[in-house]
Chains A and B, each alone.
Chain A
Amino acid sequence: MEDFFYFGIREIHEGLKAKQFSATELVAALLKRIETLESKLQAFITIVPELALHAAATVDQKIARAEDFGLLEGIPMSLKDLFCTRGVQTTAGSKILEGFVPPYDAAVVSRLNVQGTILLGKNTEDEFGHGSSSENTGFSVPRNPWNFERVAGGSSGGSAVAVASGEVAFALGTDTGGSVRYPASLCGCVGLKPTYGRISRYGVIAMASSLDTVGILARSCEDVALVLQVIAGRDMLDSTTPDRSVPDYISFLDRSVRGMKVGVPEEYFGEGLDAGVRSCVEAAIDVLKSLGMEVRSVQLPHTRYGVAAYYIICPSEVSANMARFDGIKYGPTVQDAENLMDVYCQSRARGFHPEVKRRIMIGTYALSSGYYDAYYLKAQKIRTLVRQDFDRAFEEVDVLVAPTSPTLAFKIGEKVNDPLSMYLNDSLTIPASLAGISGLSVPCGFVSGLPVGLQILGPQFGEERVLQVGNAYEKETRWHTKKHPVL
Chain B
Amino acid sequence: MFRYFCLMKLARDQVLHIAKLARLQLSDDEIETYTNQLASILGYIEILNEVDTSQVEPTAQVTGLKNVMDADHVMKKSDCEALLACSPLPKEDHQIRVKPVFE
User: Which residues of A pack against B, CB within 8 Å?
Assistant: 100-104, 196-197, 210, 236, 239-240, 242, 270-273, 302, 304-305, 307-309, 311-312, 319, 323, 326-333, 337, 339-346, 348-349, 352, 354, 357-358, 360-362, 364-365, 368, 375, 377-385, 387, 406, 419-420, 423-424, 427, 435-436, 460
Chain A residues closer than 8 Å to B37, beta-carbon distance = 358, 419
B72 in the interface (beta carbon within 8 A):
no
Choose among B63, B79, B88 the residue that contacts A242 (Cβ–Cβ < 8 A).
B63
CB-based contact B1/A427 at 8 Å: yes
In the complex the two chains form, is B22's CB within 8 Å of A339's CB?
A: no
**Least distance between B57 CB and chain A CB atoms (Å):** 6
Chain A residues within 8 Å of B7, by CB? none
Q: Which of B1-49 contact A (CB under 8 A)?
A: 1-2, 14-15, 18-19, 21-26, 30, 33-34, 37-38, 40-42, 44-45, 47-48
Contact B21 A349 (CB under 8 A): no
Main secondary structure of the interface of A (DSSP, over half): helix
The smallest C-beta distance from A384 to any residue of chain B, in angstroms, reads 5
B: interface residue count bin = 35 or more
Assess whether A360 is in contact with B48, with CB atoms less than 8 Å apart.
no
With A242-B63, A304-B2, A357-B34 known as contacts, the answer to whether A378 contacts B48 (CB < 8 A) is: yes
A-B contact list, 28 entries, CB within 8 Å: A101-B86, A102-B86, A236-B75, A239-B70, A240-B65, A240-B68, A305-B50, A307-B44, A308-B44, A311-B41, A312-B45, A319-B22, A340-B100, A341-B23, A342-B25, A348-B25, A349-B25, A358-B34, A365-B14, A375-B45, A377-B58, A378-B48, A380-B60, A381-B58, A385-B51, A420-B40, A420-B44, A435-B62
Are A382 and B53 within 8 A (Cβ)? Answer: yes
Q: Is residue B74 within 8 Å, beta carbon to beta carbon, of the partner chain?
A: no
Complex: how many Å from CA A390 to CA B102?
A: 52
Chain B hits for A271, CB < 8 A: 1
Q: Is the CB of A340 within 8 A of B57?
A: no
Q: Which residues of A contact B15 (CB under 8 A)?
A: 361
CB atoms of B99 and A337 under 8 A apart: yes
Contact B22 A358 (CB under 8 A): no
Q: Which residues of B line the A interface, CB within 8 A?
A: 1-2, 14-15, 18-19, 21-26, 30, 33-34, 37-38, 40-42, 44-45, 47-48, 50-51, 53, 56-65, 68, 70, 75, 78-79, 82-83, 85-89, 96, 98-101, 103
Smallest Cβ distance from A212 to chain B, in angstroms?
A: 11
Q: Which residue of B lies closest to A345 (CB)?
A: B25
Residues in A whose Cβ lies below 8 Å from that of B60: 210, 380
A232 to B42: give the CA distance in the assembly, Å: 37
Set of chain A residues within 8 Å of B33, measured between Cβ atoms: 354
Asked if B18 and A368 make an inter-chain contact with CB atoms under 8 angstroms apart, the answer reads yes
Q: Tell me, rounded to whole Å, the shortest Cβ–Cβ distance linking B73 to chain A.
A: 12
Known pairs A361-B22, A385-B56; A340 contacts B99 (CB<8 A): yes
Chain A residues with Cβ under 8 A from B2's Cβ? 270, 272, 304, 307, 424, 427
The answer to whether B70 and A236 have CB atoms under 8 Å apart is yes
Question: Are A272 and B1 touching (Cβ within 8 A)?
Answer: yes
Q: Which of A197, A308, A327, A382 contacts B88 (CB 8 A)?
A: A327
Q: How far is the CA of A436 from the CA of B64 in the complex (A)?
A: 11
Task: Give the shortest distance, in Å, between B64 (CB) and chain A (any CB).
Answer: 8
Q: Which chain B positions have C-beta within 8 A of A311?
A: 41, 44-45
Evaluate contact between B45 and A358: CB separation under 8 angstroms. Answer: no
Q: CA of A387 to CA of B62 in the docked complex: distance in angstroms?
A: 9
User: Given known contacts A270-B1, A340-B99, A420-B44, what 16 new A-B pairs fall within 8 Å (CB)?
Assistant: A103-B78, A239-B70, A240-B65, A242-B64, A305-B47, A339-B100, A345-B23, A349-B24, A349-B25, A349-B26, A352-B24, A360-B24, A362-B38, A378-B48, A381-B58, A420-B40
Given the complex of chains A and B, what is the CA–CA distance between A335 and B1 in angstroms?
Answer: 46
